[in-house]
Amino acid sequence: MKALLLKETKHLEIADVDIKESVGPNDVRIKIHTVGICGSDVHYYLHGRIGPFIVKEPMVLGHEASGTVIEVGTNVKNLKVGDRVCMEPGIPDLNSRATLLGMYNLDPAVRFWATPPIHGCLRETVVHPAMFTFKLPDNVSFGEGALVEPLAVGMQAAKKAMIQAGDVAVVTGCGTIGMVTGMAALASGCSKVIITDTLQPKLDLAAKMGMTAVNIIKQDLKTVVDKATDGWGADVVFEASGNENAVLHAFEPLRPGGCVVFIGMPVEPVPVDIVSAQAKEARIETIFRYAHVYPRAINLMESGKINVKPMITDTYKFADSIKAFEYAANPKPTSVKVAIEMQ
Ligand SMILES: NC(=O)c1ccc[n+]([C@@H]2O[C@H](COP(=O)([O-])OP(=O)(O)OC[C@H]3O[C@@H](n4cnc5c(N)ncnc54)[C@H](O)[C@@H]3O)[C@@H](O)[C@H]2O)c1
Ligand SMILES: [Zn+2]
């Protein structure tokens, strides 16, 4: 089948790959429709590695996908041929200790699309466990289906924060992950989400989505938060930039007893201000991808409470997928999510 193959660092090819997958009793085969390009795909393309994960063999990229079921295994009850679906890209060992504890995202044996040595989904078809394949409602498009994956990251962060109705949240970083986290926080009951960045077009988009946008070049975050909360501070701070400075100052806009969720992944280890956290007895949470949130993310899209469509700023056909990656590696400031349509 045709696939977008990362042959080596900075060398992509649309190639015929020999991936033979048979549909097991609990699997489905899916014809891929839309794949979102993630920061991690671009990172593998440009640098060939993320931390300990090194691309040693040519690898198919992509992990944010939607498509149509074209074959179902004999035991599969929840899906049928023709269903429009999106997929969780990580497949854990179902018998692992982490999976039994409900933390299947943390199973050390998890096989995650486009994390070497596992091929991703920028290819014609994939075989996937039915239990990690989710039906899309009629009013949710393939594009939105592909964005369930990043939205799930925001949903996991909102879950960990244990948001209460009326909470005020800060999100540092207005990239894809910051935006979906802000949306998940609003949908989870936050009365206000204050989101920061240095790139004005991204902030303008977040403002259209109902968030209070703060350009940290022009405005001081702490002053804005103090004004919004009578000097008390934000109930939750989501760090979604991975930027060293944002991590260091994450506790500043927080209220006493509030919660900071670290989502961003700094490329190198960075300092955290422990005493600032202690002085507020801050609750500190971290997330690694997500578990058990896809169905709720899809429900929120179906209900209209979360609309990710404006985030899909650039769409390419599969034949132009190398161009799509070249663009995603050096995008306009107005770009948020670059998507590739396979059909
Ligand atoms: N924990 C997880 O499971 C998980 C999952 C997906 C992504 N991530 C991480 O989340 C982070 C964000 O991902 P993304 O795809 O949105 O990246 P992105 O590069 O699109 O967005 C990051 C944004 O942060 C902004 N920024 C940089 N420094 C800032 C600062 N000091 N204050 C405010 N904003 C600042 C940038 O301008 C950019 O718009 C990355 O570090 C990524 O690795 C973590
Ligand atoms: Zn992703």
Same domain assignment for residues 56 and 140: yes
Report the 10 Å Cβ neighbour count for 234.
29
Region 100-108 average pLDDT: 98
Structural domain total, the chain: 2
Question: Looking at ligand 1, which atom is closest to the CA of residue 262?
Answer: 1
Is residue 298 one of the residues assigned to a domain?
no
127: its two tokens:
């075989």
Same domain assignment for residues 164 and 238: yes
pLDDT score for 318: 98
286 - beta bridge partners? Answer: 262
Region 42-55 average pLDDT: 95
Q: Is the CB of 287 under 6 A from ligand 1?
A: yes
Q: Is the CB of 213 under 6 A from ligand 1?
A: no
Same domain assignment for residues 211 and 313: no
How confident is the model over 13-29, as pLDDT tens digits? Answer: 999 999 999 999 999 99
Is residue 143 one of the residues assigned to a domain?
yes
Q: Give, in order, the Cα–Cα distances in Å from 108 to each of 59, 117, 288, 338.
A: 20, 14, 12, 30
Sign of the alpha-carbon torsion through 30, 36, 41, 42: positive
Rg over alpha carbons for the chain, rounded to the nearest Å, is: 20
Region 27-49 average pLDDT: 97
Is residue 176 one of the residues assigned to a domain?
yes
Same domain assignment for residues 155 and 142: no
Same domain assignment for residues 128 and 162: no
User: What are the helix (H) ranges across 66-147?
Assistant: 97-100, 142-146
Q: Out of 265, 330, 334, give the residue to mutate to test ligand 1, the one with the largest number of ligand atoms within 8 Å of its CB.
A: 265
The protein residue whose alpha carbon is closest to atom 28 in ligand 1 is 243
The C-alpha atoms of residue 298 and residue 246 are separated, in whole angstroms, by 30
Residue with tokens 């394949």: 133
Check pLDDT > 90 for residue 58. Answer: yes
**Which amino acid does the sequence have at 229?**
T
CATH number at residue 25: 3.90.180.10
Is residue 84 one of the residues assigned to a domain?
yes
Q: Mean of the per-residue pLDDT values for the chain? A: 97
Same domain assignment for residues 171 and 245: yes
Check pLDDT > 90 for residue 175. Answer: yes
Ligand 2 (ion): residues with CB under 5 Å are: 38
Same domain assignment for residues 169 and 256: yes
The protein residue whose alpha carbon is closest to atom 31 in ligand 1 is 246
Region 155-176 average pLDDT: 98
pLDDT score for 156: 98
| Domain region containing 125 | 2-147+308-341
pLDDT score for 22: 97
pLDDT score for 53: 93
Classify burial at 126, counting beta carbons within 10 Å of its beta carbon; exposed 0-12, middle 13-18, buried 19 or more.
Answer: buried
CATH number at residue 193: 3.40.50.720
How confident is the model over 201-254, as pLDDT tens digits? Answer: 999 999 999 999 999 999 999 999 999 999 999 999 999 999 999 999 999 999
**Which amino acid does the sequence have at 266?**
P
Same domain assignment for residues 157 and 270: yes
Is residue 302 one of the residues assigned to a domain?
no
Q: Is the CB of 50 under 6 A from ligand 1?
A: no
Same domain assignment for residues 68 and 81: yes
Q: Percentage of the chain surpassing pLDDT 70? A: 100
Same domain assignment for residues 7 and 130: yes
Is residue 239 one of the residues assigned to a domain?
yes
Q: Is the CB of 41 under 6 A from ligand 1?
A: no
Check pLDDT > 90 for residue 89. Answer: yes
Q: Is the CB of 265 under 6 A from ligand 1?
A: yes
Is residue 246 one of the residues assigned to a domain?
yes
Confidence band, pLDDT 50/70/90 cuts, at residue 132:
very high
How confident is the model over 262-308, as pLDDT tens digits? Answer: 999 998 999 999 999 999 999 999 999 999 999 999 999 999 999 99
Same domain assignment for residues 213 and 255: yes
Query: Model-level pTM greater than 0.95?
Result: yes
pLDDT score for 343: 85
Is residue 301 one of the residues assigned to a domain?
no
pLDDT score for 69: 99
Confidence band, pLDDT 50/70/90 cuts, at residue 146:
very high
The protein residue whose alpha carbon is closest to atom 9 in ligand 1 is 264
Q: Is the CB of 114 under 6 A from ligand 1?
A: no
Q: Is the CB of 246 under 6 A from ligand 1?
A: yes
pLDDT score for 113: 98
Ligand nearest to the CA of 39: 1
Same domain assignment for residues 176 and 266: yes
